[in-house]
Amino acid sequence: MLRQGLILLSDSDLARRIATSAPGAKTVARRFVAGETVEDGITAAGALNRAGFKVTLDYLGESVERREEAQAAADTYLDLIDRIQSEGLDANVSLKLTQMGQDIDDAFLRANVGRVLERARAADMFVRFDMESSRHTQRTIDFFRTAWDEGRTNCGLVLQSYMRRSEEDVRMANRLGARVRLCKGAYREPPEVAYQDKPDVDANFVLLMKLLLAEGNYPGIATHDDAMIRATRAFAEERSIPADAFEFQMLYGVRRDRQNVLRDAGYRVRIYVPFGEAWYPYLMRRMAERPANMYFIVKAVLAESPFSFLVRDGREPG
């Protein structure tokens, strides 16, 4: 119930207006969002690289309905790619197709994203297409297939283990040799298209993880769930899959303790670093994925209130 409530709030304009105008809201969000500008994202990426982590940078935004806004988002990515290259960062980029104009016009979307893919290819950089709600799943995969078939193979997909169709999509990507980020999923979906119970989502995650590690091309296993991490490590060891054949991926500000443990154990760890003004829906979905993140938010609010004495220490939530 808590997860569904948080997902509903992520789509609420009223809740967004209240939350984003609250005193200290941006300060709290900075735990999970690097800031609002390209410079903020680049600064966070540099710090993570120096700490031994790879990075993917994401300019927040989705469901864009105006061409000028979608073009501006693509322009931001062009700037971002240039900055990553000029700074020599170990980083790539992730983007959402609805931010690029998917709900405006297919030809416009192809041209707009095409600019980003070409700039990234010139920089020898990878671009990940984030997966959004099920309403866009087939269209996102179709767009990816078109780009791939046109020779733009510097792009890859995100696939979600709560989606019932994902095994078929993973097998398709494996046949192509395309790179996949596997995550659980964080949108409110109907039972006919998505598993509703955590044990089912987890079981499918393990199934898809094994397919990707055994047959895929450098997959990203995106999870903060200790059980999923243990299952991934155990399968890699059982099949003698080397640590440089895949990477764990985690979100900026989430389970930093676990990020360090995996890095220190010799695994490649990539941190997904979001930035931009559209941080509210992103933050709500992160809490829906892992309600323990709410601990940090409550703690941060208390620290700036008359009840700051209730905040006892700075330990990471479990």
Between the two ends of the chain, the Cα-to-Cα distance in Å is 20
CA distance 16 to 14: 5
CA distance 217 to 171: 11
Helix (H, G, I), strand (E, B) or coil at 99: coil
Q: What are residue 36's phi and psi, to 5 degrees?
A: -115, -10
Indicate if the alpha-carbon torsion angle 271, 210, 212, 196 is positive or negative. negative
Measuring CA to CA, how many Å separate 80 from each of 38, 116, 285? 6, 10, 24
Residue 181 bears catalytic tag: yes
CA distance 80 to 78: 5
Measuring CA to CA, how many Å separate 84 from each of 80, 89, 109, 113, 176? 6, 5, 24, 18, 28
Residue 130 bears catalytic tag: yes
Spot the catalytic one: 128, 179, 181, 255: 181
Spot the catalytic one: 58, 130, 202, 225: 130
Q: Which residue has the tokens 């892992």?
A: 290
**Catalytic residue annotation:** 130, 181
